[in-house]
Amino acid sequence: MVGLSEGEKHFIRGGIAQDLRTDGRRRLQFRAISVETGVIPQANGSARVRLGATEVIATVKAELGKPSILHPDKGKVSIFVDCSPTAAPMFEGRGSEEFSAELCVALQRCLLGGKSGAGAAIDLSSLIVVDGKVCWDLYIDGLVVSSDGNLLDALAAAIKVALSDTGIPKVNVSLSATTDQEPEVNVSDEEFLQFDTSSVPVIVTLTKVGKHYIVDATSEEESQMSSAVSVSVNRHGQIRGLTKRGGAGLDPSVIFDMISVAKHVSRQFISVLDSETLAAEAAE
């Protein structure tokens, strides 16, 4: 993936050990983030997030559907991720499938909660239109346009912004006299309901290189990692999900340490993301 010489590898590892990375950042410092909202007008909500040279687009589309029999009082949310070959030639053809699936599962774990829908970042019962009959199906699509490491954090941030940009059309239901008939649904194209996205978490990935760990790794730095822990944290500092990647084992005490660091870093990250989102919405 990334072709590095021995000298370059040594330089990257040495820089991380001395808390001065190749691009001048410190270990726990993010790259500059830029946010744009409403980039895909065909979607109900969309956002583009750039983290350095990493660029992702997230869209939210809402379609009317039927709630599942097991959870008649809840709507459905699904997340899909695609890595465009524009980001790297290795994503050509079916080359991106495995990697996309990995990102997709990690995002689902962090945003959708358990099988029952409990603990989901999005309040699924707010998506219900008529109990057991009509609900909103949310389709969240992530697209990686340009890749320079830390795709998971960028995708989660983009999804968070896209959800706050999302307007779900107001639905007027005219209930018919007989209960078993399909309810008549009238979708308004003028009134929209906004989501409560305050509990949608961000993901902070701590990448372990040598003895230290860093946030927002570039792809060069990622190529030197031994393992990475992605922690999704919401505004209140609660952990919503956890994923560990990479082959090397971690001491349990290191994991606890990483979680507390991620919590600390996420606070700054959320505030930066919030101010960028506000600026983007004002510019739109």
d(CA 37, CA 23): 28
d(CA 27, CA 206): 10
Q: How far is the CB of 24 from another protein (least distance, A)?
A: 17
Distances (CA, A) of 260 to 204, 206, 237, 254, 269: 11, 11, 10, 10, 14
Q: How far is the CB of 78 from another protein (least distance, A)?
A: 10
Nearer of residues 151 and 231 to another protein, judged by Cβ: 151
Q: How far is the CB of 217 from another protein (least distance, A)?
A: 15
> Which residues in this chain contact another protein in the complex, by CB under 8 A?
39-46, 52-53, 55, 57, 59, 61-65, 80, 82, 84-89, 92-94, 97, 139, 141, 143, 145-148, 166-167, 169, 187, 189-190, 192
Q: How far is the CB of 71 from another protein (least distance, A)?
A: 20
Nearest to 148 by CA among 278, 253, 56: 56
Q: How far is the CB of 127 from another protein (least distance, A)?
A: 14
Nearer of residues 220 and 276 to another protein, judged by Cβ: 220
Nearer of residues 85 and 249 to another protein, judged by Cβ: 85
Cβ(180)–Cβ(153) under 8 Å?
no
Nearer of residues 144 and 206 to another protein, judged by Cβ: 144
Q: Report which DSSP code applies to 149.
A: S
Cβ(149)–Cβ(137) under 8 Å?
no
Nearer of residues 65 and 210 to another protein, judged by Cβ: 65
Nearest 5°: phi and psi at 108?
-60, -40
